[in-house]
A = this chain, B = another copy of it.
Amino acid sequence: MQHHPQGARKSHSRRLLLTEIRRTGPVARIDLASRTGISRASVTTITADLLHEGLIEEVARKDPTPEQTRGRPRVDLKLRGAAHLVAGLKIANRAVSVALVDFEGALLGQREAPLPRPVNDARNLAEQLGQILDQALDGIGRTRGDLSAIGIGISGIVDAHRGFVYWSPSLVSRNLPFGQILTETLGKPVYLDNDTNLVALAEQSFGLGRGIDDFIVVTIESGVGMGIVLNGHLYRGTRGCGAEFGHTKVHLDGALCRCGQRGCLEAYVADYALLREAAISEPDQHPRPDEQRIEALLRAARNGQPTASSIVARAGRMFSMGLANLVNIFDPQLIILSGERMQLDHLYASEVIAAMRSSIVQIDKPPPEVMIHKWGDLMWAKGAAAFALGGVIETAIANGKPT
């Protein structure tokens, strides 16, 4: 293995400085030195490089501290938004969302387009994504050639390091190098990850997780997902299949799950789990789409219909037990319950949070904060864009010149 000590050292300092500038927004050179432990001289040299490369820019300090009001105006450094344009895409069941984001993370454009079929051949799906992406770019007067990278979130089990999809509900085949297929088809570097990990990145970059070292995001959609941020970094596990909260077992030999195993949390709280129970207690005479059946069940529960209430209450209790297990294991600062489906209020309910709090190890200190963040598909896409930005920054660090 070849080592390049000088290169490695410069990369190390570039990484620290770019990361710190990205994390803390406009920041003075002197603060960069003290926060990173890099000498003032090196900060001056490396930030001069970064300015020259157009990755960062100087801005006048907005709120000078009293001792800084005299003398020449102080300047801060921040990322230069125009340095890079990236796209984030979220592949959902029947739709694709696109977010176009600059190097600073500002949202420049967005688009949502239908996906005709939920399960697709990999190359065909890549081509559909390309068309939707181009439409989004066209909306802001840009083209695919302007992109530095593309982040993509997909449901399933993904090894993000390799862009490898073990399994996804959106793809016909298993065990595909889907990241590579996407890079080839789209002609730009693609960063592919499990969609829930990207929600955690979005919360960290743009949302409730900003500046918080240890937090957990639980997503509640048709299934239950989870993203783990520890020490400020997304934790992905060794094989790319950690954070499978929905398939942790809450009952030995319990209810059958879609995954084929028994007792998974999803088998108690997902839509299909509620409908399975609803179907038994009150067989549906008139076949209706699942969305309507779920809505009817939740409405009946809200109106106090006993069986519906029992079904929904058990889902909430199982969910609170699962959440309590996460707290007992991670003891995080914050849990973000994150989802777009407003009708899942039974899982966001204060009784659920209270039951979680009473099921964790009790110490004489408050339990972790729980925040509820409801949003749309764009959040997933913005998380995918944040992932792509991370990749662009890694490339900028490695190259030591603009990419």
A interface residues, Cβ below 8 angstroms from B: 3-6, 8-9, 11-13, 30-31, 33-40, 157, 166-167, 174-175, 214, 226, 228, 230-231, 233, 235-245, 247-252, 259, 261, 263, 317-318, 321, 324-326, 328-333, 358-365, 368
Contacts and interface: CB of A to CB of B under 8 A. Distances in A.
Given A9-B37, A233-B231, A245 B331 contact: no
27 contacts: A8-B37, A9-B33, A9-B37, A12-B36, A157-B363, A166-B363, A166-B364, A166-B365, A175-B364, A214-B237, A228-B329, A230-B231, A236-B331, A237-B330, A239-B365, A242-B328, A242-B330, A242-B331, A243-B331, A244-B328, A245-B329, A247-B361, A248-B324, A248-B328, A249-B250, A252-B321, A326-B329
Copy number of this protein in the oligomer? 2
Contacts of A239: 331, 363, 365, 368
A248 B38 contact: no
A328 B38 CA distance: 39
A172 to B, nearest CB: 16
Given A324-B249, A331-B238, A333-B238, A359 B261 contact: yes
Given A37-B5, A259-B361, A359-B261, A238 B328 contact: no
- Closest 10 pairs (CB-CB, A-B): A237-B331, A3-B34, A242-B331, A12-B37, A8-B37, A166-B363, A5-B33, A244-B328, A248-B325, A9-B37
A86 to B, nearest CB: 26
A157 B36 CA distance: 33
A5 B238 contact: no
